Amino acid sequence: MIVFDLVCDGGGHVFEAWFGSSDDYEAQRLRGLVTCPICGSDKVDKAPMTPRLGARSNKTVNPVPAVSPGAPAAQALTNHAPAAIKAMLRSLAEQQARILATSDYVGDSFADEARAIHLGESEQRSIHGIASPEEARALDEEGISIAPLPFPVRPPGADN
C-alpha cells in the first residue's frame, strides 16, 4: 500500500488517500474514481510531499507535506482553521451515520450482494459491508456504482 497527499482543483482541499500502487492511483484517477471528500471534485492531483526517510531506532519520522507558499496545497492548509476542519469531519461523520442507519450491513458478501441487486436478483436497497480492492474494481468495471465510507465501520456485534 502507498499513501499520497492529494489536492483538488475545486477548492484546493488537501487530503490523504491510500492505493495499492502508483499505477492503481493513476488508473483510478483516470476513471474519475478519485474525488475530493470535501467538495466532491474529481479534478485531483498528487500534492508535493517529502519522502519518508529511515528513522533512527529511537525516533519516528512521519512524512510532512512539502508545499511552497502560494501553492494550492499551502493555501488549503492555511485557509482552514482547526474549527472548520472539525466541523467538516463532524459533518462527514453525521452523513456516514445516516447512511449506516438507512442501509443493511451485508459483511463480506458486499460484492456479491451489490451484484445481485444490480442484476435484479435481490431486492433493491442500500447496503454497506466489506469489499477487497479487487472486488471494488470488478464492481466498477461491471458498471455497478459503489462508494467507500469516509470512516472505518465496526461490524454489528463486534467487540469494542
Strand partners, 2: 19
- Beta carbons of 91 and 98 less than 8 angstroms apart: no
Beta strands in 9-112, from DSSP E residues, in sequence order: 14-19, 44-46, 104-107
pTM for this model (two decimals): 0.47
Alpha-carbon span 113 to 133, nearest angstrom = 16
DSSP-derived pairing of the beta strands 14-19 and 2-8: antiparallel
Give me the count of residues in the chain. 160
In this structure, the number of other CB atoms found within 10 A of the CB of residue 34 comes to 21
The radius of gyration computed from the CA coordinates of the chain, to the nearest angstrom, equals 18
User: Which domains does the chain carry?
Assistant: 1-47 (2.20.28), 81-155 (no CATH)
Give residue-wise pLDDT tens across range 58-71.
555 444 444 444 45
Give residue-wise pLDDT tens across range 122-135.
999 999 988 888 99
